[in-house]
Amino acid sequence: MGKSRLLAILVVLFIGNSITITSQGNKEITLEEIWSGAFRADRMNALNSMNGDFYSVLNFNRETRSTAVEKFSYATQQKVETIVDSKDLYDLSYFTSYSFNNDETKLLLGTDFKQVYRHSQKGTYYVYDVKTKELTLLGKEIQEPTFSPDSKKVAYAKENNLYVRNLEENREIKVTNDGKFNSIINGTTDWVYEEEFAFVKAFDWSADSNYVAFLRFDESEVAQFSMNVTGGELYPSMNTFKYPKAGEKNAKVTLNLFTVSDKSVKKIELSDYEYIPRIQWTKEPTVLSVTTLNRHQNDLNLYFYDAKTNAAKVILNEKDSAYVDVQDNLTFLDDNSFIWTSEKDGYNHIYHYDKTGTLKNQVTKGNWEVTNYYGFDTTSKKVFYQSVENGSINRGVYSVGIDGTGKKLLTPKTGQSNASFSKNMKYFINTHSSATQVPTYTLYDGEGKKIKTLKDNLELQVKMRSYKMSKKEFFTYKINGNDLNMWVIKPADFDPNKKYPLLMFQYSGPGSQQVSNRWNSSNDYWHQMLAQKGIVIACVDGRGTGLKGRDFKKVTQKELGKYEVEDQIAAAKFFSTEPYIDANKIGIWGWSYGGFMSTNCILKGNDVFSMAIAVAPVTSWRFYDTVYTERYMTTPQENASGYDENSPITHADKLKGKYLLVHGSGDDNVHVQNTMRMVNALVENNKQFDLFIYPDRAHGIYKGKNTRLHLFTKLTNFVLNNLKN
C-alpha cells in the first residue's frame, strides 16, 4: 500500500498504554468547535505536593456549590481524607486558592480575587486550623500571604505596604508605612518586574522566622502610561500606571530587612546594580542570597548577606557579552552548598557549588539544553531534570547523581514529558504528549517505573478519528548556514501535482520555540482547519529561538528583527521552490513578537510574501519596556540604529501585499500605541491595509462573549480571501 494511501485512512496504533494517530477521517473542524473547547484535552487538577507520599487537590462540588481540599496517596491514588470543605464553614461559602504551613496544620484559604496585572491579584484570605477547624479572617484585598516557617506568623502586602500578623496574638504589625499607589511599593513588584522577571511576591521569610527580607520599589520618577477604557458607562475612563519604556527611568529598587524580634527595618547595602530579580534565604537562618543585575543584564552577582554581621559578599558572578538569564533553580542543600543552572559553557546546564561559591562539579554536560530543574533527592543524592537530549523538539525527564554519574531517562524518548514530583522526590506524575499522541498523565516512581496511567484522554483520541487531520511533518533545512527546525501541514487530500497557497506561522522571540513535538494547541486546530480548506501551513524556528545553544539564541543581540526576518524570508523562498507551492500566494502571521515579525516580513520580503496578519504587534522596540527590550537591544540611546532599522514603522513604504493589523485597546503589555503609530506610517505612505481594534481587550484578546471566535473568524476570512480565493 502506497504512502499516500496510508495517510488517507485512519490507523490507530496502540503502543503500551499510548494511542497514536497516524491519519484521519472526513469530518472538518469548525471555529465554533475550537473556541467552545470541543477539542480541549482533559487535565488533572493542579497538584500540591504534601509532606510524605501525599498530595492535595482543590475540588469543586457542583451539587453543593462548595470547594474542598482533598488529600491523596501517590502510591495508591486513593483519597486519604478531606482536609477542609467550605460547606462546613459558616463564614466562607467557597474558596479558590489554598496553601499549607510547613507542618500542614494550618491553611490559607483565598477568595474574592481581583486582578491587578497579568499575574498579580488581590484577595480575601482566611487562616484555617486543621485540628480545631477554626476559621479566622486574615484580611481583605491583600496580596501574597505567606506563613512563617514556624507557622506562628503570616506576612502579606496590602495597599503597597508590608504587614506581619502574629497568629498567636492575632495582632497585626505594619512593617512599612510609606506605600503609595504609583509611587512606593513594599513587598510586591512593579509592573515590569512582574512581567519580565516573572514574580510578584517580593519578600521572603528566614528559616528561623526572625527575619523578613523584602524589596522596596520607588517608582515616583517612572513615567506614567495611560490607556483609555471604553467600558459600559456614559463616559469612558482612564487606566494609568507606571511603565518604564526602553531607555527611560526604572523604579529604584532597594533591599530591606525586617527583624521580627525588635520590629526594626533596615536597608541592606549592595554594590552597584540596576535590578534585584531574586531574593531567597539559604539553609543558614541568618544568610540571605540576593541576585543582582546591571542595566544591560550581562553582569550577574549572587550575594550572600549575613544578617548578624550586616555584611554582603559576592559568592558567584556571571558575565556574558549579550545577557545572563535569570533562573529559578537556585536550590540550597543541607550543607548550604547550592545547585545553579547556567549556559556559560554554551548550553544550559546544572552546576553544584559549595557554600563559598567554589564549583564542586558540573552535573550535566553536552551539546543540549536542560529545560527544567525539578529538584534534589537528599536520600539518593540524585538531581531530577528535563532536557532536550533526544532532539530539540522533544523533552525527556532524567535523573542523574549530583556527581554527574548514573544518568537515566525516566520517561518516553520522543514527544514531550513534564513531571510534577512529590516533595520527597519518590514519585512523579508525568504529562506526556506528541504531535500524534494526546496528553496522558502517568504516575511513576523516582526510578522511572510506571505505576499507573491516571488519565489517557481516550475520548479525545476517539473523537479525533472522525476528523480530517493532517500529519505534522517535522524536518530540518539549512537556511543562512543553520539547520533550522521546521514543520509543515499539508491538506489531507494532498496532491503533489497541484499548487497550494502557503501560510507560515511563527513567534520567533529570543529563546522561544514553536517547532515542538507536542499535542495540538488551539492554533494547531486552526491550522488544521485551514489545511482542510486547501492551504499548506508551515512553521520555522529561525535564529534567535531557543534550545539549540547560547550562540544560536544570542546571535540576534542588538538587532531584534534582523536575522529572524532574514530566516523567515529565506525559508519562504525555499518553500516557494517546492513544486506543490504557489509562489504567488505565500502569507505569514504571528502574535506579539510574531506580529512584529510578520509585519517586517511583508515589508522587507515584499517580493515573497503576498499577505500578512499581525495581532498585537510590537512595531518599535522604543515603545516596549526596559527589562525585556534592553536585555536584547541595550538602550535606544546606545543602539538607535538597531531599534530603528528593524522597526516596521521605518519600512512602511515597502508594503505591497495584503496586511491585517489587529490589537486590543486595553493591552497593558504591548500597547495599542504600537499599532496606532504603524497606522500613521502606513497612512503617510498612502498604503491600504485592514485594521481591527478590540475595545478594552488585553494582550490575549480573550475578554467578552465570542471575542476569540470573532477574532479567528476575521483571521480565517482574511486568509481565505487573500490566499485561497
Q: Contact 484/474 with Cβ under 8 angstroms?
A: no
pLDDT at 352 over 60: yes
Say how far apart CA 528 and CA 471 lie, in whole Å: 9
The residue among 243, 253, 287 whose CA lies nearest residue 273 is 253
Q: Across the strands, what pairs with 123?
A: 142
Cα separation values, 368 from 330, 349, 396, 481, 551, Å? 20, 8, 12, 19, 12
What is the reported pLDDT for 1? Answer: 32
Give me the pLDDT at residue 546, please.
Answer: 98
Amino acid (1-letter code) at residue 207? A
Q: Which of 220, 245, 240 is nearest to 229 (CA)?
A: 240
Q: What is the pLDDT of residue 15?
A: 32
Give the residue among 610, 604, 619, 593 at the shortest CA–CA distance from 674: 619
pLDDT-wise least confident of 25-29, 140-144, 174-178, 408-412: 25-29
- Here the cell at position 400 is 542523574
- DSSP 8-state class, residue 649: G
Residue 251: how many other CB atoms lie within 10 Å: 25
SS3 label, residue 464: helix
Q: Examine the pLDDT at 5 and tell me if it is beyond 90.
A: no
Residues 6+ apart with CB under 8 A from 276: 215, 253, 255, 270, 290, 291, 292
The 3-state DSSP class for residue 6 equals helix
Under 8 Å between Cβ of 61 and 68: yes
Cα separation, 501 vs 585, in Å, equals 5
The rounded distance, in Å, linking the Cα atoms of 382 and 405 is: 9
Residue 18 main-chain phi, psi, to 5 deg:
-95, 155
Whole-angstrom Cα distance, residue 363 to residue 660? 49
Q: What is the mean pLDDT of the chain?
A: 95
- The grid coordinates listed for 560 are 531584534
Identity of the residue numbered 303? Y
Per-residue exposure over 680-715, b if at least 16 CB sit within 10 Å of its own CB, e if not: ebbeeeebebeeebbebbbbbbeeeeebbebbbeeb
Return the amino acid letter for 311. A
Residue 345 burial (C-beta neighbours within 10 Å; 0-12, 13-18, 19+): middle
Provide the edge-to-edge strand list for the sheet that holds 408-409: 370-377, 382-387, 396-401, 408-409
- How much is the pLDDT for 723? 98
Q: Give the residue among 184, 249, 221, 202 at the shortest CA–CA distance from 630.
A: 249
Q: What is the pLDDT of residue 34?
A: 97
Q: Are 396 and 415 in contact (CB under 8 A)?
A: no
> What does 140-207 look like in DSSP terms, one character per residue?
EEEEEEEE-TTSSEEEEEETTEEEEEETTTTEEEE-----BTTTEEESB--HHIIIII---B-EEE-T
CA–centroid distance for 189 within its chain:
18
Q: Where are the alpha helices (DSSP H) in 255-357?
A: none
By CB atoms closer than 10 A (0-12, 13-18, 19+), residue 24 is: buried
Q: Are 216 and 180 in contact (CB under 8 A)?
A: no
Model confidence band, residue 318 (pLDDT cutoffs 50, 70, 90): very high
Give pTM, 2 decimals.
0.94
Read off the pLDDT of residues 501-518 as tens digits, 9 standing for 90 and up: 999 999 999 999 999 999
Q: 342-351: per-residue pLDDT in tens?
A: 999 999 999 9
> What local confidence, expressed as pLDDT, does residue 19 receive?
43
Residues 646-691 pLDDT 10s: 999 999 999 999 999 999 999 999 999 999 999 999 999 999 999 9
Tell me which amino acid residue 618 is. V
Cα 632 from chain centroid (whole Å): 18
- pLDDT reported for residue 7: 30
Give 184-241 pLDDT, tens digit per residue: 999 999 999 999 999 999 999 999 999 999 999 999 999 999 999 999 999 999 999 9
pLDDT digits (tens, 9 = 90+) for 691-705: 999 999 999 999 999
The confidence band for 251, taking pLDDT boundaries of 50, 70 and 90, is: very high
Locate 132 and state its grid cell: 480545631
CB within 8 Å of 63: residues ≥ 6 apart: none
Q: Is the pLDDT of residue 721 over 90?
A: yes
The vertex-620 CA angle with 617 and 623, nearest 5°, equals 95
Instruction: Name the burial class of residue 59, with classes exposed (0-12), middle (13-18) and buried (19+) by CB atoms within 10 angstroms of its CB.
Output: middle
What pLDDT, on a 0 to 100 scale, did the predictor assign at position 12? Answer: 34
pLDDT of residue 24: 61
The pLDDT confidence band at residue 47, using thresholds 50, 70 and 90, is confident
Amino acid residing at 549: G
**Nearest of 431, 420, 423 to residue 454 by alpha carbon:** 431
How many other CB atoms sit within 10 Å of the CB of residue 412? 24
* 660: enclosing H helix or E strand: strand 658-664
Query: How far is residue 352's CA from residue 704's CA, in Å, rounded to a whole number?
Result: 49
The percent of residues in the chain predicted with pLDDT above 70, rounded, is 97
Q: How far is CA 122 from CA 116, 142, 144, 145, 156, in A?
A: 7, 5, 8, 10, 11
Distance in angstroms (rounded) separating the CA atoms of residues 535 and 657? 18
pLDDT of residue 102: 96
Per residue in 398-439, pLDDT (tens digit) is 999 999 999 999 999 999 999 999 999 999 999 999 999 999
Element housing 283 (H / E)? none
Q: Over the stretch 439-453, which tens digit does the pLDDT of each residue have?
A: 999 999 999 999 999
Q: What is d(CA 357, CA 332) in angstroms, rounded to the nearest whole number? A: 12
User: Please, which pLDDT band fits residue 10 given cuts at 50, 70 and 90?
Assistant: very low
How far apart are alpha carbons 257 and 269 in whole angstroms?
11
- In angstroms, the CA 557 to CA 564 distance is 11
Q: How many CB atoms lie within 10 A of CB 73?
A: 14
Amino acid at 197: F
Q: pLDDT at position 601, please?
A: 98
How would DSSP label each residue in 466-478?
A: TB-PPPEEEEEEE
DSSP class of residue 720 equals I
DSSP 8-class letter at 655:
-
Q: How is residue 410 annotated by DSSP? A: -
C-alpha cell belonging to residue 322? 549579550
Q: List CB contacts of 16: < 8 A, sequence separation 6 or more.
A: none
